[in-house]
């Protein structure tokens, strides 16, 4: 059992947890993830690590309650425990001194983009961050991103806060303004990452995305998380999770992530009934 040292909602359905996991806290690097299991009969789900506190021996994860397991997790409070946490898994982000970098976080993807932004800044890059959300109340980590970025842009789809439009619109504006950008990291929903890849491709900018396929063990053993990158099959858990955005088959990833839609609905209905 791993104790939740602290839990707080950042926005509706988006919760930040600090979970006791000494080894993982000491070892993890930007871009890596953990596999967790909330309860005894629970499924194993991957969650990217948003940060860690080595002294406290805790890792931070930020969870959007979408499916049964994430909703169940988001019901837990400080002092509760989760059943299992394993990691850190996956390859760390490749952090180099690129020059000018743009870090794009869409929705809860900002939580995953944040540690990479920190690492890029520490390496001496000029960091421009674009944080996008549907609406003002769903903007997360604005202060944290501001503190680690040289420039920060917030976008909302409905224009309720910051720039009115998608993160891609903002990125295109930056690129069209003639700013020389050497590296783009984009983390968010698959359609967003795909559009970012389309935007940066004509500019020839190295662009990296973090993929979020369905996983079971997270250690290379099952192959459930396979994706097609550069026309080759990769196992995202051990070969990734970060890949060259211009080579990822996003359509395949979208389809594969729908494999258990029927079961997800069944599980959710059962969960909702139990909550009544």
User: Quick one: CA dihedral 149, 194, 97, 177, positive or negative?
Assistant: negative
Q: Which range, of 6-14, 78-86, 94-102, 106-114, touches other proteins by CB under 8 A?
A: 78-86
Nearest residue to 208 (alpha-carbon basis) of 177, 178, 233, 229: 229
Nearest residue to 132 (alpha-carbon basis) of 85, 175, 93, 186: 186
Closer residue to other proteins in complex, CB, 143/232: 232
160 binds other proteins (CB under 8 A): no
The phi, psi pair for 136, rounded to 5°, reads -50, -45
Report CA 125 to chain centroid distance, whole Å.
Answer: 21
CB of 204 to other proteins, least distance (A): 28
CB of 22 to other proteins, least distance (A): 10
107 binds other proteins (CB under 8 A): no
96: left (phi over 0), alpha (psi -120 to 50) or beta: beta
Report CA 134 to chain centroid distance, whole Å.
Answer: 16
264 binds other proteins (CB under 8 A): yes
Binding mask 205-234 for other proteins (x = CB under 8 A): -----------xx-xxxxxx-xxx----x-
Q: Which residues bind other proteins (CB under 8 A)?
A: 23-24, 27, 37, 41-44, 68-69, 83-89, 216-217, 219-224, 226-228, 233, 235, 238, 252, 255-256, 258-260, 262-264, 266-267, 270
């Amino acid at each position: 059992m791993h104790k939740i040292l602290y839990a707080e909602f950042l926005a509706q359905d988006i919760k930040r947890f600090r979970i006791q996991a000494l080894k993982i806290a000491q070892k993890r690097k930007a871009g890596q993830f953990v596999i967790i299991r909330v309860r005894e009969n629970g499924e194993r789900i991957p969650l990217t690590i948003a940060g860690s506190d080595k002294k406290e021996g805790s890792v931070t994860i930020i969870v959007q309650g979408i499916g049964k397991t994430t909703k169940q997790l988001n019901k837990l409070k400080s002092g509760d425990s989760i059943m299992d946490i394993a990691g850190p898994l996956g390859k760390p982000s490749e952090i180099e001194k690129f020059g000018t970098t743009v870090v794009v976080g869409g929705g809860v993807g900002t939580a995953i983009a944040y540690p990479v932004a920190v690492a890029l800044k520490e390496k001496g890059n000029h960091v421009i961050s674009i944080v996008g959300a549907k609406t003002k109340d769903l903007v997360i980590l604005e202060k944290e991103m501001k503190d680690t970025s040289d420039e920060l842009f917030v976008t909302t789809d409905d224009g309720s806060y910051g720039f009115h439009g998608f993160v891609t619109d903002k990125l295109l504006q930056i690129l069209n303004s003639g700013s020389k950008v050497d590296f783009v990291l984009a983390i968010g929903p698959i359609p967003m990452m795909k559009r970012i890849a389309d935007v940066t491709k004509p500019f020839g900018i190295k662009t990296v995305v973090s993929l979020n396929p369905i996983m079971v063990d997270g250690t290379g053993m099952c192959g459930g998380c396979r994706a097609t990158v550069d026309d080759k099959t990769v196992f995202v858990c051990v070969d990734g999770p970060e890949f060259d955005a211009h080579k990822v088959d996003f359509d395949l990833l979208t389809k594969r992530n729908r494999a258990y839609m029927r079961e997800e609905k069944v599980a959710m209905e059962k969960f909702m009934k139990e909550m009544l």
